[in-house]
């Protein structure tokens, strides 16, 4: 249910004041983000910037200390079942049920989302085909390569046909062929009207793939907008370094 004060439902994801502390460490500090529907949105930042924490709070995996998040106008924490039905999540570092086969894992995800068995079976076959996992579908996920695991986890996130995909480091530890196949699948999804949010620290990949980008450092939003707006006529990587700082210049190892 969409509350009267909820954001425009044409915005795929909205966060206001998202905040999370771990002891003395403020991992995310009052994050405000607007992700337009139909965009391919990159979230970039250095290691430890708060990207994973922010996306976990926005998608219902981690309760914020303060702040709110909406998926197409539905409050993630006030109406989590409705909000989660609209989003598919590929979380980084979260263990999957790897003692299931690939087909079983995708099927399990579909049934959890309330799809009927016939629809789940049909979509599972479709997903195994487009992910090039038909032969591996009967094998246990524990025996999959990193690239295969990413692809089957992405399939499990997509089976309920969500309006939004939130993918945390989907290309990390993935071979070039699998990465190219995943990019093609995501581009086709976005072309059909879906919204993709992908976190990454590979600037070239974000610059080539994404329409929009947000730069996060020290748990704070440093810049957000279209890729062209954020890079401001420069290479995105150079702009990123300027925004987050920390580059060592004029220093070297005299003994090397």
Give the pLDDT of residue 225: 96
Query: Residues 6 or more apart from 40 whose CB is under 8 A from it?
Result: 186, 187, 190, 195, 196, 198, 209, 210, 211, 212
Q: Work out the widest C-alpha separation in the chain, in whole angstroms.
A: 67
Give the pLDDT of residue 253: 80
Give the pLDDT of residue 252: 72
Query: Residues 6 or more apart from 126 whose CB is under 8 A from it?
Result: none
Taken in order of first residue, the domains within the chain and their CATH numbers are 1-86+165-246 (3.40.50.300), 95-161 (no CATH)
Instruction: Report the distance separating Cα 105 and Cα 144, nearest Å.
Output: 13
32 — phi, psi (to 5°)? Answer: -110, 125
Give the pLDDT of residue 227: 95
- Burial of residue 250 (CB within 10 Å: 0-12, 13-18, 19+) is exposed
Give the pLDDT of residue 96: 87
- Find out whether 196 and 167 touch, Cβ atoms under 8 Å: yes
Give the pLDDT of residue 2: 47
Give, for all 256 residues of the chain, the pLDDT tens digit.
444 566 787 899 999 999 999 999 999 999 999 999 999 999 999 888 899 999 999 999 999 999 999 999 999 999 999 999 999 999 987 788 999 999 999 999 999 999 999 999 999 999 999 999 999 999 999 999 888 998 999 999 999 999 999 999 888 878 888 888 888 989 999 999 999 999 988 888 899 999 999 999 999 999 999 999 999 999 998 898 888 876 666 667 878 7
Output the CA–CA distances (angstroms, integers) from residue 14 to 88, 136, 211, in the order listed.
Answer: 16, 37, 17
């Amino acid at each position: 249910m969409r509350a009267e004060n909820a954001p425009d439902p044409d915005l795929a994801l909205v966060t206001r004041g998202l905040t999370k502390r771990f002891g003395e460490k403020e991992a995310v500090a009052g994050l405000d983000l607007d992700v337009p529907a139909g965009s391919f949105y990159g979230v970039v930042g250095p290691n430890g910037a708060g990207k994973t924490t922010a996306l976990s709070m926005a998608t219902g995996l981690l309760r914020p200390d303060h702040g709110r998040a909406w998926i197409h106008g539905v409050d993630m924490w006030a109406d989590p079942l409705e909000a989660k039905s609209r989003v598919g999540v590929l979380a980084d570092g979260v263990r999957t049920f790897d003692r299931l086969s690939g087909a079983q894992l995708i099927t399990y995800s579909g049934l959890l989302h309330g799809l009927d068995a016939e629809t789940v079976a049909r979509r599972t076959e479709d997903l195994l085909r487009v992910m090039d996992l038909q032969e591996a579908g009967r094998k246990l996920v524990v025996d999959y390569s990193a690239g295969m695991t990413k692809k089957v986890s992405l399939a499990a996130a997509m089976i309920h046909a969500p309006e939004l995909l939130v993918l945390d480091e989907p290309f990390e530890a993935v071979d070039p062929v699998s990465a190219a196949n995943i990019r093609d699948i995501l581009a086709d999804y976005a072309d059909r009207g879906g919204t993709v949010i992908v976190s990454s620290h590979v600037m070239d990949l974000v610059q080539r793939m994404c329409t929009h980008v947000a730069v996060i450092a020290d748990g704070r939003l440093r810049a957000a907008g279209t890729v062209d707006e954020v890079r401001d006529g420069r290479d995105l990587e150079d702009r990123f370094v300027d925004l987050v700082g920390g580059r060592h210049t004029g220093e070297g190892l005299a003994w090397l």
